[in-house]
Amino acid sequence: MIRFDNICKRYPGTQDVLSQVSFHLDKGEMAFLTGHSGAGKSTLLKLIALIERPSRGQLLINGQNLTKVSRRRIPYVRRQMGIIFQDHRLLMDRTVFDNVALPLIISGFSRGDIERRVRASLDMVGLLNKEKQFPITLSGGEQQRVGIARAIVHKPSLLLADEPTGNLDPALSWEIMGLFEQFNQVGVSVLIASHDLDMIARLPYRVLKLKQGQLVGDGYPRRREPT
Amino acid sequence: MRRHSTQRQNHGEPRPQGASRGATRSGIRGYFTLHLSMAIQSLGRLSRSPFATLMTAAVIGIALAMPTGLHVMMDNLQKSGGDWRQSTQISLFLRAGINEDRALKLAQRLEQKADIQSVYYISPEQALAEFQSHSGFGEVLENLQTNPLPAVLVVNPRLHGSEAEALIERLKAYPEVDIAQLDMQWLQRLFAIMEIVERGVLLLALLLGIAVLLIVGNTIRLAIENRRDEIIITKLIGATNAFIRRPFLYSGIWYGLLGGLIALLLVNSAIYLLQDPVAHLTGLYGGGFQLQLLSSDISLMLLGSGVLLGLSGSWLAVGRHLRHIEPR
């Protein structure tokens, strides 16, 4: 699904933000990406989302070589993934329904399809009864779930999340994590950047650890507790 | 059909590049529905800040109304000028020593010609009296010993424009005639002036057109700045530049159309207000001339140019500013 091959990323006038990063995330696999802030987690996700381009190395998503994707084709590559942000990035002047419908509108789905899929997606995150509300009236956890509904509404094959539980209390975090596990169980590949080491250690998923731009750890938590 | 194709995009199944465009769009009808809903959405967005929208549209309207109004004025003048051209007269100044008798006989002969409608005679005494009362030289003329003015035959021809020149040549050939003069010089001068003014109007229209372009461009630029976050989010979700561009282009079109409508309203109400005084004035000159409201051709052209200017203005702004807004 995702293949990093000796990826380096350097901004002009600085040291490498990522250097020689190589890993492979299988189709249908779920993994965490950890490391201190500044270790390169966000940059790595940005490379996958084509927000940044690698300075060197090969990056393949779904068999497509991202280093060769032209500017014009970027939107079509992004439509294959769902991205979840720490700050939700919802459109505050539109209803929950309209926010979740956005990826479908962009892709030109028909009105009937949009309604059906948005409702299914909101149902999955448990917000079906709030579709007419504006995001500002929702709690932080609810806003994050709207963001998740938006990320999965077009049935992407890859889900990227950047600190999805960063601002949430533990109970809500577990709830959100449960959602990711659900999607993973139906075959979606999931990559979550998080520094919630406590939670990660209690989950049976692969952990990629970044330190100063280098991949220093790739494995499973030693302690596997059932959740 | 389509429902199947979208449902079949299963998780984890790589879609070939380019398929996303064709597979999810339900053909031409879907495309038009998308555009229609975009157009309505951007109109709705404009109507949410009616005052600002109207201000911008009014500026565009005034800018469009000025050249349009001037053009209508010139057009009306030219039409009425056509009426005047028909009332062209030829003055035949008779040689000195031709008495009233001979002059009247000549008048009778001329009146029988096919291309002459009527002829009337002005004696030197009549001419002098008229000149004294109209020219302001009354007192000077009273001191003259003899009347310097010749007898005149005023010919109303039954023709227009260039044919008059040929008629003048024939009239000059009569032995009684000293000078034959077409009373049209002032009209020709007027038309020359009008041509210059028309050029001026064209230049003004060009300048104001550019002004409209800049106004729309700047308004759209501000709208883009205001929605920077939204643009970034939609780009992250996979919106193409065309998708993001569209609502702004539609706003430009709406601004132009609204501006055109305001210009139409302004020009027509100005004409309506001027109609009576102008009718009164031309009545004084013996003409039955009326200012006409904008024709449907001109109205459509006005609205069309409004739309075109709005669209180009927003296109300029969008092309310049949208490219720089990328997710970071």
Please choose, from the candidates B121, B127, B124, the residue with its C-alpha nearest in 3D space to the C-alpha of residue B107. B121
| pLDDT tens digit at each of 328 positions of chain B | 444 443 333 443 334 344 344 444 456 776 787 788 888 888 888 888 899 999 999 999 999 999 999 988 888 877 766 556 555 778 888 888 788 888 888 888 888 887 788 888 888 888 888 777 766 666 777 777 777 788 888 888 776 556 667 788 888 888 888 888 877 667 777 778 888 988 999 999 999 999 999 999 999 999 999 999 999 999 999 999 989 999 999 999 999 999 999 999 999 999 999 888 888 887 776 666 677 888 889 999 999 999 999 999 999 999 888 888 888 7
Would the CB atoms of A103 and B24 count as touching at under 8 Å?
Answer: no
Distance from CA of A195 to the nearest CA of B (A): 21
Strand order of the β-sheet with B177-182 is B116-122, B152-157, B90-94, B177-182
Interface pTM, i.e. ipTM: 0.89
CB contact under 8 A, A108 and B17: no
Look up residue B236 and give its amino acid. L
Chain A interface, best mutation among B20, B29, B326, by max A CB count within 10 A: B20
Number of A:B CB contacts under 8 A?
A: 92
Determine the CATH number of domain B89-183. Answer: 3.30.70.3040
> The pTM is what?
0.74
Interface test with B, best of A118, A155, A189, A191 (most B CBs within 10 A): A155
The bridge status of strand A158-162 relative to strand A189-193 is parallel
Q: Is B242 exposed, middle or buried (0-12, 13-18, 19+ CB in 10 A)?
A: exposed
B30 at the A interface (CB within 8 A)? yes
Instruction: Sketch the domain layout of chain B as residue ranges.
Output: 37-84+188-324, 89-183
Inspect the interface and report whether the beta carbons of A63 and B20 lie closer than 8 Å: no
Among chain B residues, the shortest Cα distance to A185 is held by B11
Tell me the chain B residues in contact with residue A95 when contact means C-beta distances shorter than 8 Å: none
- Cβ–Cβ contact B27 with A under 8 A: no
Given A28, A51, A187, which is nearest B328 (Cβ)?
A51
Q: Cβ–Cβ of A75/B31 closer than 8 Å?
A: no
Substitution target in A3, A11, A109 with the highest count of B β-carbons within 10 Å is A109
CB proximity list for B251: less than 8 A, separation 6 or greater: B42, B45, B46, B219, B220, B223, B314
